[in-house]
Amino acid sequence: MTRRRARTRRAQRSAGGEYSLDVAQQLLEGYGRDPQITDWVDSLEIFVVPLVNPDGNSAFIERSHWFTRKNGRDCDGDGVLDPFEGVDINRNYPFGWSEAGSSARCTSRRFHGPAAGSEPETRAMMQLAERQRFAASISFHTVGTVIFWPYGVPSATHPEPDVAKAIAGALIAGAPEQPNGRRYTQRHGLYPVSGGAHDWLMHAHGTIAFILEGSNHNPPMPVRSEAVVSTRPVWKALLDHVAGGPRISGHVRDEQGRPIAAEVTVAEITLSAGERWTARPRDGRFDRVLHRAGRYTIEASAPGFAVARERVRLGERPATVELVLSRE
């Protein structure tokens, strides 16, 4: 089954968690009643992570609104967490770490941490992604009313064609006006970002990963409820695209049927940022979400094996390809 993930990570942006919880609630309550939701749950593995940063969120709610963005790292080791300490988890991922849009100062709101992947929250999410190799992901933040797609690292070259960009536009097309009077827009380069989760997911695993900035930061309940409802079309569109849209999925195995963590590429997509997207080690599974129908060549390669490739005529529905690698 194809995997898709929803999560929220920032400390101060408690409204983001409401979006993730709404995903879970809608799927649970709609299963067996709503045919579309039932199909998603039956055909996909869906992971919902309501909160990535519990320490920062707790400090924001219970202690001080100065606790913004960051986790609970006690930078100076005095046993006391003050509002200016902590690591911005969404600047702590390895890809592009410390390049731009972050700081080496612990007191900075965008402190990237002492090393790439240094924080337990970052490592937990990386380990989850390593195990599952998500096909797509959406991370709920606030407050820009925008959708971002990889790469936010200024030095990184986007895949060509830019599949994530095309899908991002489709996701927000059906969303209504938000409580702040604005509609979701698609933005890139609004500000430099390095060490972000969505960039790392794309670079490490080929996950079509998005950040969705909701309309309100920490609003009263009536506004919060309106924001949650008016954002549903976005994540529903992503689930619908992954479950029923253009996608090539399958497994890579050797001639004895054993899984191979082979590098799997789509020949028609040019990668220029050093990406090496491999099949899942435990079962050889891979998923490549695409933005449109067409003819594609899927290739699998691994040391000691001849390259396997197959031409796929992909329509508006997913296609399955089983690749077998032979010893050279």
Q: Tens of pLDDT along 192-225?
A: 889 999 999 999 999 999 999 998 777 777 888 9
Please tell me the distance from the alpha carbon of residue 227 to that of residue 217, in angstroms, as a whole number: 10
CB 314 within 8 A of CB 290: yes
pTM for the whole thing?
0.94
**How far is the CA of 17 from the CAs of 6, 51, 171, 207, in angstroms?**
10, 6, 20, 21
Average pLDDT value over all residues in the chain: 93
What domains does the chain contain, in order, with CATH numbers? 2-244 (3.40.630.10), 247-325 (2.60.40.1120)
pLDDT in tens, 153-187: 989 999 999 999 999 999 999 999 999 999 999 98
User: Whose CA is closest to 105, among 114, 96, 116?
Assistant: 114
pLDDT in tens, 71-124: 989 988 898 888 788 999 999 999 999 998 999 999 898 999 999 999 999 999
pLDDT in tens, 22-53: 999 999 999 999 999 999 999 999 999 999 99
